[in-house]
Structure 1
């Protein structure tokens, strides 16, 4: 059930109204109006306040991989061959960390019964493109390294990411599917993904105020992440504009209504389907970008985590297109 929002004119779901009102009561300033250091601190506090509580797991271990960190959430009581969820956090390549998405990763591990490996890739502007995608590629290779220090015997991976993390997951899925000898990637989950950095879709003009993430925020993120001379239509920047290979893994694409990224996410789901991928697409009217990092306060967010976990559990390589 949604109701019209007097500030923005956009529909807002009843269970999302409290979080939105709290944001506006604190000043209602979108992310791009703060200095980088301050916006990171605000994002950390917001995710801690609104996110899922920390589910208890058998083990949680941190590892250093080259110049970045990973965290392995393992709910199992015994080891053995296993699928693994490889998770990339959102935050516009500028903010976000292992902490901001800790509750979400714990919940995914608890619900699926599978290890979840979170990637704390380097952030811009200190580490601009291609740092984030290079770290993500390294993390995927590291995951499948036999006898790796992570201690996992990985049979296949499901790539999961929200927002900028969805972009990283989408790029890896495309690149891996195009390899002569691809790694066993069973599926991809793209949560309100940022997949077209030309920022040309109509939804940018619809969401310009009243929410933490608006069109100007996306432009700010992109300017911090991408050096001026970079082609923003490049395949590892805008996967929605890439030439999609055959044998892409099944995808679950989620979009929300009050989000500048809505149209590009919906368009990418359609492009995946046209390329022959098995696609589940779900659009959530009345909700805003950041739903899953507010899932401790918004019931629909917690439900979506359960639906994502069910999709992961049902994803196996046998279901990939022939």
Structure 2
């Protein structure tokens, strides 16, 4: 039976209740109430405990780029030309790693039978903006370099990211659509993306306590990521405030209701549609931010990962 949450006033889905109850029983302190070092440890442990199990794959290989790493998950036993998935993890540009999203990337590779390339971009505050977007951009070009060390012959790519990673995917899709020599990016998947760091949407006033990610957490992330004086409405920071170009690749945008980011995600899906982009938008009442890194414990999260994989398959055939 779905219950109304005493903090948000919104439903809590039955299959999400146990994970949320454990968080609240442990003290219910949101991410921003800890030090950077501690919050990274908590996020690593939480993703390990609640994330998808590690699907076995033909090969998993790490590569070092210029100050950061990427991991190539390849489910194939035979090589050759192939589409690929370029994945950007969430964590507010402050936390997250290859390990926090390992199970999710493995599952996407297994379900799509495509190589998934996860970007372990540098984190703030040690490496503030624009380090994360610079690394992500470099990784995308590295992926398409036919003579590169990864050995993949990539014909086209789908950009995928959750939360802050969704912002990185959206920014790269927008930039690529306006360049004179665009790379073959054929789709984008934005899972509860963080696309407006002016924090001006109404849902910031609603989701303020009772969840790991609340409005003040976004501000804490932004303050660590963005140097003082940076325009928070800039296109590579808040893509939802940008006039979107024509010719963007088809998008699958997912939002969850108990999330300060829900309104900006919905607004961004609408903006994509207004720009002439093919958009599949899915809103999930009863769920909170972090659904996909808790998909090993929340069945609905695992089901949506299946749907994401189907979307990717449909656009890479």
Does the TM-score normalized on the shorter chain lie above 0.5? yes
Please name the residue that 1:320 is paired with: none
How many Å apart are 1:11 and its aligned residue? 1.3
Partners in 2 of 1:132 and 1:298 — Cα distance?
29
Deviations 1:232-289 (A, max 9, x none): 0000000001121111000000000000000000000000000000000000000000
Please name the residue that 2:35 is paired with: 35
Partners in 1 of 2:99 and 2:261 — Cα distance?
24
How many Å apart are 1:10 and its aligned residue? 2.6
Please name the residue that 1:52 is paired with: 52
How many Å apart are 1:6 and its aligned residue? 3.1
TM-score, scaled relative to structure 2: 0.99
Partners in 2 of 1:105 and 1:8 — Cα distance?
31
Change (3 A) 1:87 1:266: same
Please name the residue that 1:112 is paired with: 112
How many Å apart are 1:8 and its aligned residue? 4.1
1:258 to 2:242 alignment = no
Please provide the CA RMSD for this pair.
0.9
Secondary structure of the residue aligned to 1:27 is coil
Partners in 1 of 2:8 and 2:206 — Cα distance?
10
Please name the residue that 2:168 is paired with: 168
Partners in 1 of 2:97 and 2:160 — Cα distance?
15
Please name the residue that 1:92 is paired with: 92
Deviations 1:21-76 (A, max 9, x none): 01011111000000000000000000000000000000000000111000000000
1:143 to 2:143 alignment = yes
Secondary structure of the residue aligned to 1:270 is helix
Q: Are the aligned partners of 2:8 and 2:258 in contact in 1 as well (CA < 8 Å)? A: no
Partners in 1 of 2:242 and 2:235 — Cα distance?
5
Please name the residue that 1:315 is paired with: 315
Please name the residue that 2:228 is paired with: 228
TM-score, scaled relative to structure 1: 0.97
Partners in 2 of 1:123 and 1:66 — Cα distance?
14
In structure 2, list runs of 5 or more residues that go unmatched. Answer: none
1:210 to 2:178 alignment = no
Partners in 2 of 1:115 and 1:260 — Cα distance?
32
Partners in 1 of 2:53 and 2:5 — Cα distance?
29
Please name the residue that 1:125 is paired with: 125
How many Å apart are 1:7 and its aligned residue? 4.4
Secondary structure of the residue aligned to 1:220 is helix
Partners in 1 of 2:4 and 2:132 — Cα distance?
38
Secondary structure of the residue aligned to 1:256 is strand
Please name the residue that 2:240 is paired with: 240
